[in-house]
């Protein structure tokens, strides 16, 4: 499922997030041996395979299994704000991008970076562009910091 936006990296069957349970799971209809990902292959892929063989895939899925409790917690935190500088990097080809709308209401010091020609996996698809955004943001936050600057003697 970790794929770039490149045509040659498409899965043979598109992922469909609707009616997952009724269809028998997210990967129902997916070939047993899909083509390798362009951004997660070789030694990196083997590492993940080894780790999931040891521990299973239950823990990563628990976030989704716990969605109702997370939603209820979010409601209890409704009027709270995150009062530290934060950065959100979005990608133009990320289908989850719409979920970031309105974050400024909860995070007043939110800065945004954007990589247009990129999918969900920014750090793997466009590491140089992401690093540039991160470094610029860190320099800006440091320069504008209200923290007292201490001399290094």
Higher pLDDT, 29 or 133: 133
Q: How far is 110 from 87, CA to CA, in rounded Å?
A: 6
Query: How large is the average pLDDT for residues 102-128?
Result: 94
Q: How many residues does the chain have?
A: 153
Phi, psi of 122 (to 5 degrees): -55, -45
pTM of the model: 0.74
Residue 75 Cα to chain centre, angstroms: 22
Q: How far is 85 from 87, CA to CA, in rounded Å?
A: 7
Write down the pLDDT at residue 140. Answer: 92
- Side-chain half-sphere of 100: how many Cα atoms within 13 Å? 17
With 50 as the cut, is the pLDDT of residue 151 above it? no
Query: How large is the average pLDDT for residues 17-33?
Result: 83
Backbone region of residue 24 per phi and psi (left: phi > 0; alpha: psi in -120 to 50; beta: other values): left
With 80 as the cut, is the pLDDT of residue 102 above it? yes
Average pLDDT over the chain reads 87
Kindly indicate the confidence band of residue 147, based on its pLDDT and cuts at 50, 70 and 90: low
Q: State pLDDT tens for residues 43-98.
A: 998 998 899 999 888 888 888 889 889 888 888 887 889 899 999 999 999 988 88
What 8-state DSSP symbol labels residue 109?
T
């Amino acid at each position: 499922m970790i794929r770039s936006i490149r045509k040659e990296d498409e899965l043979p069957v598109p992922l469909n997030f609707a009616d997952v349970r009724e269809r028998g799971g997210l990967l129902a209809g997916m070939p047993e041996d899909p083509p390798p990902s362009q951004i997660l292959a070789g030694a990196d892929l083997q590492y993940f395979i080894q780790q999931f063989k040891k521990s299973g895939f239950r823990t990563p899925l628990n976030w989704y299994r716990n969605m109702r409790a997370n939603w209820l917690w979010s409601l209890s935190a409704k009027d709270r704000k995150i009062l530290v500088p934060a950065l959100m990097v979005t990608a133009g080809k990320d289908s989850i991008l719409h979920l970031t709308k309105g974050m400024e209401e909860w995070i007043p010091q939110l800065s945004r970076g954007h990589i247009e020609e990129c999918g969900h996996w920014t750090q793997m698809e466009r590491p140089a562009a992401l690093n540039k955004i991160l470094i610029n943001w860190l320099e800006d936050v440091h320069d504008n910091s209200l923290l007292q600057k201490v001399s290094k003697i």
